[in-house]
Structure 1
Amino acid sequence: MSSSHRDAQPDAHPSQDTSADVSCDVLVIGGGINGAGIARDLAGRGWSVVLCEQHDLAQHTSSASTKLVHGGLRYLEHGQIGLVRKALQEREGLLRGAPHIMAPLRFVLPHDASMRPAWMIRAGLWLYDHLARRDFLPASTQISLKGHELGRPLQPAWRQAFVYADGWVDDARLVVLCAQDARERGASILTRTRCHQLRPLAQGWEALLAHHDPHTGRLTHNVAVKARLVVNAAGPWADQVQAMVAGDAQQGAPRVAAQHLRLVKGSHIVVPRLFEHDHAYIFQGRDRRIVFAIPYEQRFTLIGTTDVDHVGDPGQAAIDAAEVDYLCEAVNRYFRQPVRPADVVWAYAGVRPLMEGERAGGKASAVTRDYRLQRQAGPAPWLTVWGGKITTFRKLAEQAGDVIGELLEDRRAAWTREAVLPGGRLLELIETEVDPVTDMAEFQRRLRQRHPWMDLGLVRRWSRQYGAQALRLFEGVQQRADLGAEVAPDVYEAELFYLRRQEWAFTGDDVLWRRTKLGLHLDAAQREAVSRWMMDQA
């Protein structure tokens, strides 16, 4: 094993980001996309930041999405034009800033005349095309499915379709990259660290954080943090954290207007690949809900999502048999090849914290995916984030940074609009930037040219997951043997050490299902080998 990999210090070990009592400007509670995005934004403005996450980064809601960067075409029908415009304004900027973990994706919408006339869909897509500027995503079109490659997987009754562009994202890696960027700008990122007590002080807050061993769950140490301001970005747990932040009457805390947070479970299934082309499908069921079928991990198709009200611990959300049946039936209305529950090779579920507003009890699918920032100056400054979606995370974080500047009476300039996430600056290896797809293909070609001994599949995986940061995996590496032991097929010690040091990965699940999706490609014994290796490094 190359000494550059074996002997490097574990920069991301949770107990080493901070282990003593600390003071900071802002404590961010929650390591999903909102918390990581806000920590990144604040650190880039020069504030000192500590982020704590009770489990792994993106372990729950933020790794359980449909993995899309999109405006949300269906939200137009609900009249949420402002939300759609805001998301569309973010879409291409995100794709440019992280071309390794995001990519343009075209969607095929078969036309069902019993649902709505073609002119209505054309009008909606025209609006979708023009609500925000597009530089490289193509405009929508209408096609005949008869004899068309995009029509072959579908039943012959579907004759016409519309095709439009959005994007795809590796959601869990997006969170990790935001956390990396925040750390590089000075933030402390504490995973497996739960905030279990908050107390207002004369000049801010005192928080008691408890770090737990990722393998045993045992408490290893406490950290006391004094912060001028607290951000509650705990997602499905936001109301629980707000109860701590708001305090009680004895502490002199004012009453806070309650937000009706509706917890909605969204579940997805993954099945062997149902079609050969690179487009996705968007299907509308008889209940008027939308279900996507998306090319996934080369050999699979991702199908989702459901909208089911969730009661109980958000961390224990799991797909049930009724949801699997629902998703199978939804796509079987369209596909020639039937999808059966027995075909499911993997499934996941997450709980979305949605704001229901004053009118409760409607369909979960109709509840807004927009966000709200709730600020309060007393008993000490704090900010709670309600709702949100992946595509608008950067804008949410930027607005949160502006609000925090007002609360701290220290306004600082926003900076993330044109920023690139770690690994996204491919100019380290290519000569000129054209568009995200062209740039990524050229980066892969150059990487393989530089390391001809490397398998093409591994070049593609590392470049898609790490982008320009893949070059760090090759430091001191001249041949395959320098990558260390092959723990599982194409999983070398060099990568696992990197994930421990740089990406807060400490368990097999962290590696197999969040930092990568290798869990889909390895068998049970191979997954166990990765988990055992991670445990041995503890």
Structure 2
Amino acid sequence: MSDLLDLLVIGGGVNGAGIARDAAGRGLSVMLVEKDDLAQGTSSRSGKLVHGGLRYLEYYEFRLVREALIEREVLLASAPHIIWPMRFVLPHSPSDRPAWLVRLGLFLYDHLGGRRRLPGTRTLDLRRDPEGQPIQRRYRRGFEYSDCWVDDARLVVLNAMDAQARGASIQTRTAFIGARRENGVWIAEIADTRNGIRRTIRARALVNTAGPWVTKVIGAVQDAHSTRKVRLVKGSHIVTPKFWDGPHAYLVQNHDKRVIFINSYEGNHALIGTTDIPYDGAPEDVAISEEEIRYLLDAVNRYFKQKLRRSDVQHSFSGVRPLYDDGQGNPSAVTRDYVFDLDERDNVPLLNVFGGKITTFRKLSEHAMQKLAHVFPNMGKDWTARSYLPGGNLPQGDMPTFLEYLAERYPWLPRDLAHYYARTYGTLTIKILADAQDLPSLGQHFGGHFFEAEALYLTRREWAETVEDILQRRTKHGLHLTAAETDTFSRWFAQPRQHAA
């Protein structure tokens, strides 16, 4: 039987990785188990935003919005390579929310969270300002405000990397089978999903961050009880060619009062979403429906001059949001706040986490550890608010300065490739480029910005084990490679020893 751990974290999404990192940084011994790949579930299927949640003000979620706005600035400082500011244009439709209500919401949005780094709201004349050029002429007034973009799957991986660097054990493709309390500790059984081999783990505390599977984990723990319920809501996105100029994004109000984000994505694409639909199927089987696709296309076509067709949809993805069930009938009105359920007997706790959103994962993690402080009275203090995530320690906190450094150290590196590496890996770029002297030094070129050196780095340092891990989560190369290029990479990846650690 293994040595005694302080904490066993179940689930490798953003909350699980964040808690593992926070706990390891406090000096606790930690293991995280994830039955699939990191961020394979909900955490890689978001709208890719770090935002306060403008629409949550309508449901009087002032505490959540304020916390999220504060966290937006904290995260922007901690990971400027994968999180960056984005301006959103909100065309006003007189048939929906009145202009005074929108202005009031944006005023609160600007001031609730002590905004320091991001520019504030401004009013637009959509017929004269360039941001209104793609919008239909019948929309005259608009508003522009700030939020942030995030590479959601990489955010999870970076938290796991930092947790590992601080002593945590990150076990992907490892399923939680069950647990019981015995002699003042947890006896937990886990299984390697690659080969079925089981192990027994002893831990002082369990944290259940299984997301859509949170109640399944509770059911696998002997004598575990929870009065909380989770509500599963499906959110789907579509990807189309980008159909406007400029780096800004759009937020439009649909007829049903829901808002749809239309974001610039991977340079020449647009990411459009999301839907909010009650879901009662298996989370791993979630998929977009034709009705959802039509809903999103109709929302865009209501505002933009250029009409999108079904044939413009190049890619789609769906995720299941494990929201805390607060009894609201409307899925859009269900709180995005997080709730803890502490099941503790004989000083042996199981902490179940319900709900949450990417923007507040760090604060959620901090609060989770505070909930367990009585179990670990000697653990370190709160620390993550003032720390960088791996790769985020850019020189002078500035991306242009880091790009200048790369140009000096690697004068042969094309500027667009340097920008890709810097935006994806930050200062970890040096781990990929190492002592390379020219492009051939990076190994086989698979297409676009994708070279062998990056694939090797991802398998050796970021737990990537499949083609999908690399092309869809660690990177977005899958959107840019042709079918033939993807096949070439798949054949390379299948060769033995090519990507062994």
Q: Does 1:228 align with 2:195?
A: no
Q: How far did 1:22 drift?
A: 4.5
- 2:219: which partner in 1? 243
Aligned residues between the structures: 496
Q: How does 1:152-163 map to 2 (within 5 A)?
A: 152-163=133-144
Q: How far did 1:160 drift?
A: 0.5
Q: Does 1:142 align with 2:131?
A: no
- 1:512: which partner in 2? 471
Could you tell me whether the CA contact under 8 Å between 1:177 and 1:422 is conserved in 2? yes
Give the counterpart letter for 2:467 in structure 1.
G
Please state whether the residue corresponding to 1:154 is helix, strand or coil: coil
Could you tell me whether the CA contact under 8 Å between 2:234 and 2:318 is conserved in 1? yes
Q: How far did 1:489 drift?
A: 4.1
Give the counterpart letter for 2:97 in structure 1.
R
Could you tell me whether the CA contact under 8 Å between 2:238 and 2:316 is conserved in 1? yes
1:270 to 233, 239, 247: 239
Q: Does 1:372 align with 2:331?
A: no
- 1:322: which partner in 2? 291
Give the counterpart letter for 2:405 in structure 1.
R
Q: How far did 1:411 drift?
A: 4.8
Give the counterpart letter for 2:332 in structure 1.
S
Distance in 2 between the 1:163 and 1:413 partners? 39
Q: How does 1:54-453 map to 2 (within 5 A)?
A: 54-213=35-194, 218-219=195-196, 221-245=197-221, 247-248=222-223, 256-357=225-326, 359-360=327-328, 362-378=329-345, 380-427=348-395, 432-433=396-397, 439-453=398-412
Distance in 2 between the 1:503 and 1:183 partners? 10
Could you tell me whether the CA contact under 8 Å between 1:373 and 1:385 is conserved in 2? yes
Give the counterpart letter for 1:205 in structure 2.
W
% identity of equivalent residues: 49
1:466 to 418, 422, 425: 425
- 1:8: which partner in 2? none
Shift of the 154–500 alpha-carbon distance from structure 1 to 2, 3 Å rule, reads same
Distance in 1 between the 2:302 and 2:96 partners? 14
Q: How far did 1:521 drift?
A: 0.2
Could you tell me whether the CA contact under 8 Å between 2:122 and 2:145 is conserved in 1? yes
TM-score (norm 1): 0.90
- 1:526: which partner in 2? 485
Give the counterpart letter for 2:178 in structure 1.
Q
Larger RCO (alpha carbons 8 Å, 6+ apart): 1
Distance in 2 between the 1:444 and 1:519 partners? 25
- 1:490: which partner in 2? 449
Distance in 2 between the 1:119 and 1:420 partners? 39
Please state whether the residue corresponding to 2:101 is helix, strand or coil: helix
RMSD: 1.4
Distance in 2 between the 1:182 and 1:208 partners? 22
Give the counterpart letter for 1:452 in structure 2.
P
Distance in 2 between the 1:62 and 1:306 partners? 16
Q: How far did 1:259 drift?
A: 1.4
Distance in 2 between the 1:452 and 1:223 partners? 50
Give the counterpart letter for 1:143 in structure 2.
L
Distance in 1 between the 2:199 and 2:401 partners? 46
- 1:14: which partner in 2? none
Structure 1: state its 5+ residue gaps: 1-19, 434-438
Q: How far did 1:75 drift?
A: 0.4
Distance in 2 between the 1:21 and 1:407 partners? 20
Please state whether the residue corresponding to 1:65 is helix, strand or coil: coil
Distance in 1 between the 2:31 and 2:77 partners? 28
Distance in 2 between the 1:377 and 1:100 partners? 40
Distance in 2 between the 1:161 and 1:82 partners? 27
Distance in 1 between the 2:490 and 2:407 partners? 29
Could you tell me whether the CA contact under 8 Å between 1:53 and 1:191 is conserved in 2? yes
Give CA deviations for 1:334-370 in whole Å, capped at 9, x if unaligned.
011111111011100000001122x25x111111000
Q: How far did 1:382 drift?
A: 1.4
Give CA deviations for 1:479-502 in whole Å, capped at 9, x if unaligned.
222212224443222111100111
- 2:16: which partner in 1? 35
Could you tell me whether the CA contact under 8 Å between 2:420 and 2:449 is conserved in 1? no
Give the counterpart letter for 2:235 in structure 1.
G
Distance in 2 between the 1:22 and 1:334 partners? 60
Give CA deviations for 1:387-411 in whole Å, capped at 9, x if unaligned.
0000000000001111122234445
Give CA deviations for 1:35-93 in whole Å, capped at 9, x if unaligned.
00000000000000000000000001000000111000000011111110010111111
1:47 to 4, 22, 28: 28
- 1:15: which partner in 2? none
Give CA deviations for 1:22-44 in whole Å, capped at 9, x if unaligned.
53110000000000000000000
Distance in 1 between the 2:490 and 2:116 partners? 43
2:434 to 461, 475, 496: 475
Give CA deviations for 1:112-142 in whole Å, capped at 9, x if unaligned.
1222322222111111111011222011111
Q: How far did 1:525 drift?
A: 1.8
Give CA deviations for 1:287-339 in whole Å, capped at 9, x if unaligned.
00110000000010100000111122101111111110110001100011111
Q: How far did 1:532 drift?
A: 2.8
Structure 2: state its 5+ residue gaps: none
Is the deviation greater in 293-302 or in 375-384?
375-384
- 1:7: which partner in 2? none
Distance in 2 between the 1:257 and 1:174 partners? 30
Distance in 2 between the 1:119 and 1:292 partners? 21
Could you tell me whether the CA contact under 8 Å between 2:233 and 2:323 is conserved in 1? yes
